[in-house]
Structure 1
């Protein structure tokens, strides 16, 4: 873990009282880089940040004021990606054998984007060379597993209190992302694993509410949701999970990582969106435990 103290690995921002059946999660906005990790890397201090969901935790910061807890990572995605299976690992990265239960053949591992990533965006190699497999397994045991245990606890607590839970998994995407076969570059993508991680009515409401705020919004293309959305979304049990991807061109200069002047306006719009979606769930929540589309 290097210089990241245990208490600083991640944190839960709690409202005084949870008033809405939502849990917000920002797994990729961490920007606390251990010096030992930087020493292992061949990248400069700016390039290594290309995998971050820049400032997404700040964009959704008002969720707690509206009555929902928010889990956010301080460790960076380039160090450990909790939106993967726990052991999606590339054996070419490590000295020493991986455990037999490691998934070494997933598409994400092949793409360099496993639990311990090999690449940051634009196919830039992170590490100078191989490093001990014990290092990778320690990250999984001491960060990945406690992170997911915390997320499960928040979701379970919310489900018990309200009879349903809506997980909003918060991400950003590069400004040049466009729809397959199209030049359209959406402002937002709502992912529900093609209707399997959340009730269709909830997904449609999220799309509609963002469109009413003037944004271009699509559903599931090209991002339908990752491991977290797939793993925690069980709509037939009243456990709903949506992934939200925000186009970084809306709020940050991707070359300098400086926030754009419209950053505050986007925070305000997302606050409006959260409140409106919460009211939708309050009005129609009785339908949400039904089977997804």
Structure 2
């Protein structure tokens, strides 16, 4: 069932299976009131998790609950700690309201960056409703199931020297060092990745963002996993720097099919795990 009584930028497709799928970075919309001061609309969309909503469009057919924001992460990043504490101390990252791209390019003209009042307004308007919806849906599913899996979907370009060295593995599984889910779930997801044609790592450069760390409470029956996909696994990604007009690459269902097949296996494994706790 698709919920309609909520902000137009926040979509919720409710399912009854013990699986919640979060899509926090697929949005590309920048409301007009936040465009002032931006260097370009393309830079504001550059770091979106391109086509992830299409790659995972099978999730609802599995009975999963799917939550998505259409608002660009440049407006506000709903996967950052709202306190401002870095999720990756000592490593380059972006803020709750980013002022640079992943490559370090300024998103705003000098002096036009969001001030404290603007950040708080964006937090109240977008961040809090997104997380309130996540919490409410976790509670709803948890009331019906002994265990629930929160699966947080992400992607990123494969080569971004400012953020990490070399070329990122295809599958980047994040459980914050094993704290956000039962080890059996993480091991099964890793096993599926191991038997695929794609490379993988567990708790490498990306260990899970705020959503995974905030919601993952395996001791209370809520198991959270972040999956960060390297874009080349499902799209014809130009490796290295990208320019306007060449990014994002078009979505090609045939090209994406092998990775999508593995993602189907992974989400089914999440469901099997959750149901095994009954």
- TM-score by shorter chain over 0.5: yes
Q: Which structure has greater helix proportion?
A: 1
Give, in angstroms, the shift of residue 158 of structure 1. Answer: 1.2
Change (3 A) 1:145 1:185: closer
Q: Does 1:153 find its partner at 2:136?
A: yes
- Provide the C-alpha distance between the structure 1 equivalents of 2:89 and 2:106, rounded to a whole number of angstroms: 15
Aligned to 2:256: 263
Q: Check conservation: 2:43, 2:107, Cα contact below 8 A.
A: no
Q: Name the residue aligned to 1:65.
A: 61
Q: 1:1-293 maps to which residues of 2 (within 5 A)?
A: 7-15=7-15, 18=16, 20-42=17-39, 44-88=40-84, 111=92, 113-128=94-109, 129-130=111-112, 131-176=114-159, 185-252=168-235, 253=237, 255-257=246-248, 258-260=250-252, 261-282=254-275, 284-285=276-277
Residues 110, 127 of structure 1: CA spacing in aligned structure 2 closer, same or farther, 3 A cutoff? Answer: farther
Alignment gaps of 5+ in structure 1:
1-5, 89-102, 287-293
Q: How many residues align?
A: 260
Checking the alignment, whether the CA contact within 8 Å between 2:212 and 2:226 is kept in structure 1 is yes
Say if 1:173 and 1:207 are closer, same or farther in 2 by CA, change over 3 A.
same
- RMSD of aligned residue pairs (Cα, Å): 2.6
Provide the secondary structure at the position in 2 that maps to 1:273. helix
Kept in 2: contact 1:112–1:118 (CA 8 A): no
| CA deviation after TM superposition for structure 1 residue 189, in Å | 0.9
SS of structure 1 residue aligned to 2:125: helix
Shift in alpha-carbon separation, 1:112–1:118, aligned structure 2, 3 A: farther
Deviation at 1:48, TM superposition (A): 2.2
Pick which of 180-189 and 53-62 moved more: 180-189
Query: What TM-score do the two structures reach when normalised by structure 2?
Result: 0.84
Structure 1 contact 112–119 (Cα < 8 Å) conserved:
no
